[in-house]
């Protein structure tokens, strides 16, 4: 930020709003505005607005936040007539909701997934089922694969690039997961840097090779400064 380089945060987590994220970032001493937080929920709503006529009914397995964001774009939530089915992380999942999602897709509705993350971290080392687990259930029931929004799929990265108005080759993705952050960035032609503070370790770098590897953000910034 001191360099005046624009930045944003992109997250697959579709259960929190940008404002909720800012509080968490602030706890780490990181300043940002809500516009700088790009969630899979927001990108899902944006992709629906780009691909379907306003007024198309939808159904979703997902957080109230996800449903509100889509509805706010002018799409009515209607389980019985849905032409679009969105599957994300839904802590209020029931068998009946799973049934509706699958039945609407089998009846011809589009199948969109917020992301494919298998698990959702609970913070104490424990995990809960992620959006990807629910997506697998619906994919198995219907024999269909979803249009994927979240990392490593392209829409999340493309939305961030549109936000900055820069071509992919001029953008750097910094992430802590090889199979989502780094792979996704490479697929859209962005540069990528892996920081070893999260999920992926240096020993896991094989077919997915980032442009740079750093112990943490401080080391990345130091390398950056000395390169300028």
Binding residues for its own copies (CB under 8 A): 90-95, 98-99, 102-103, 106, 118-119, 126-130, 132-141, 143
- Min CB(93)–its own copies separation in Å: 4
| Alpha-carbon distances of 9 from 79, 112, 116, 179, rounded to whole Å | 32, 22, 18, 17
120 strand-pairing partners: 128
Tokens of residue 224, six digits? 């950056």
| Alpha-carbon distances of 27 from 7, 93, 198, rounded to whole Å | 18, 31, 17
Number of other CB atoms surrounding residue 13 within 10 Å: 21
- Min CB(165)–its own copies separation in Å: 37
Residues 162 and 159: their CA atoms lie apart, in Å, by 5
Compare residues 131 and 173 and give the one whose CB is closer to its own copies. 131
Compare residues 57 and 129 and give the one whose CB is closer to its own copies. 129
Compare residues 37 and 208 and give the one whose CB is closer to its own copies. 208
- Min CB(24)–its own copies separation in Å: 22
- Min CB(181)–its own copies separation in Å: 19
Which 8-state DSSP code applies to residue 74? T
Residues 114 and 218: their CA atoms lie apart, in Å, by 31
- Min CB(99)–its own copies separation in Å: 5
Residues 72 and 93: their CA atoms lie apart, in Å, by 22
Compare residues 168 and 208 and give the one whose CB is closer to its own copies. 208
Compare residues 141 and 196 and give the one whose CB is closer to its own copies. 141
Which 8-state DSSP code applies to residue 91? T
- Min CB(133)–its own copies separation in Å: 4
Compare residues 25 and 137 and give the one whose CB is closer to its own copies. 137
């Amino acid at each position: 930020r001191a360099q005046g380089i624009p930045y944003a945060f992109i997250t697959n987590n579709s259960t929190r709003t940008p404002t909720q994220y800012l509080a968490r970032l602030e706890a780490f001493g990181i300043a940002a505005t809500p516009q700088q937080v790009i969630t899979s929920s927001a990108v899902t709503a944006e992709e629906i607005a780009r691909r379907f006529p306003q007024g198309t009914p939808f159904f979703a397995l997902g957080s109230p936040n996800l449903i509100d964001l889509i509805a706010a774009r002018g799409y009515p939530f209607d389980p019985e007539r849905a032409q679009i089915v969105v599957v994300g992380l839904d802590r209020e999942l029931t068998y009946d909701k799973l049934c509706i999602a699958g039945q609407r897709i089998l009846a011809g509705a589009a199948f969109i997934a917020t992301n494919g993350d298998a698990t959702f971290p609970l913070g104490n080392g424990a995990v809960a089922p992620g959006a990807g687990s629910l997506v697998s259930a619906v994919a198995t029931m219907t024999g269909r694969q979803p249009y994927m929004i979240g990392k490593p799929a392209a829409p999340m990265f493309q939305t961030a690039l549109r936000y900055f108005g820069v071509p992919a080759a001029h953008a750097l993705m910094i992430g802590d997961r090889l199979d989502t952050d780094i792979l996704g960035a490479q697929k859209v032609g962005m540069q990528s840097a892996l920081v070893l503070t999260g999920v992926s370790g240096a020993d896991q770098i094989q077919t997915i090779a980032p442009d740079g590897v750093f112990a943490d953000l401080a080391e990345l910034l130091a390398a950056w400064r000395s390169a300028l």
